[in-house]
Amino acid sequence: MSRFAAPIAEQIWDMKYRLKAADGTAIDGTVEDTWRRIARALAEVEKDPSHWEAKFYAALEGFKYLPAGRITAGAGTGRSVTLFNCFVMGTVPDNMGGIFDGLKEAALTMQQGGGIGYDFSTIRPRGAEVKGVAADASGPLSFMDVWDAMCRTIMSAGSRRGAMMATMRCDHPDIEAFIEAKKDPARLRMFNLSVLVTDPFMAAVKADGPWELVFDGKVYKTVQALDLWNRIMKNTFEFAEPGVIFIDRINAMNNLAYCETIAATNPCGEQPLPPYGACLLGSINMATLVADAFTPSARVDLAALDDLVRVAVRMMDNVVDASRFPLPQQAEEARNKRRIGLGVTGLADALLMVGLRYGSVEAAEATEAWMKAIARASYLASVDLAKEKGAFPLFDAGKYLASGSLRHMDGDVRDAIAKHGIRNALLTSIAPTGTISLYAGNVSSGIEPVFAYAYTRKVLQKDGSRTEEEVVDYAVRLYRETHGDGPLPAHFVNAQTLPPLDHVRMQAAAQKWIDSSISKTINCPEDISFEDFKEVYMAAWDQGCKGCTTYRPNDVTGSVLSVSEASDKTPTEAPATVRAGEGGEVVYLSEPLDRPAALEGATYKLKWPGSEHALYITVNDVVIAGHRRPFEVFINSKNMEHFAWTVALTRMISAVFRRGGDISFVVEELKAVFDPRGGAWMEGRYIPSILAAIGGVIERHLIEIGFIAGEGLGLKSDPQAEVVSLSAPKGKSCSSCGGFDMRMVEGCMTCASCGYSKCG
Residues known to be catalytic: 266, 268, 270
What are the angstrom distances between the C-alpha of 660 and each of 548, 553, 560, 574, 589?
28, 14, 12, 8, 8
8 Å CB contact between 674 and 695:
no
| Closest to 472 in 3D by CA, of 352, 559, 322 | 352
CA dist., res. 58 & res. 52, Å (int) = 10
In this structure, is the dihedral angle defined by the CA atoms of residues 725, 729, 730 and 733, taken in order, positive or negative? positive
Say how far residue 440 (Cα) sits from the centre of its chain. 20
| Closest to 466 in 3D by CA, of 623, 625, 352, 573 | 573
Q: Helix 361-389 and helix 302-322: axis angle, to 10°?
A: 50
8 Å CB contact between 246 and 541:
yes
Q: Helix 361-389 and helix 500-511: axis angle, to 10°?
A: 30
Q: 619 pairs with which residues across the strands?
A: 602, 633
8 Å CB contact between 613 and 637:
yes
CA dist., res. 381 & res. 127, Å (int) = 53
CA dist., res. 76 & res. 646, Å (int) = 44
Q: How many CB atoms lie within 10 A of CB 592?
A: 14
Task: Annotate 266-311 with DSSP letters as a single string.
Answer: -TTSS-EE-TT-EEEEEEEEGGGGEESTTSTT-EE-HHHHHHHHHH
8 Å CB contact between 499 and 532:
no
The amino acid that residue 666 corresponds to is: V
Q: Helix 530-542 and helix 500-511: axis angle, to 10°?
A: 10
The amino acid that residue 660 corresponds to is: G
| Closest to 701 in 3D by CA, of 606, 593, 587, 571 | 606
CA dist., res. 180 & res. 241, Å (int) = 9
8 Å CB contact between 36 and 57:
yes
User: By three-state DSSP, how is residue 750 classified?
Assistant: strand
CA dist., res. 498 & res. 521, Å (int) = 12
SS3 readout for 381-395:
HHHHHHHHHCCCCCC
| Closest to 733 in 3D by CA, of 623, 638, 619, 655 | 619
CA dist., res. 241 & res. 195, Å (int) = 9
Residue 351 phi, psi (nearest 5)? -60, -45
8 Å CB contact between 718 and 699:
no
Beta pairing class for 191-197 and 129-130:
unpaired
DSSP 26: B
751 burial (CB, 10 Å; 0-12 / 13-18 / 19+) is: buried
The amino acid that residue 84 corresponds to is: F
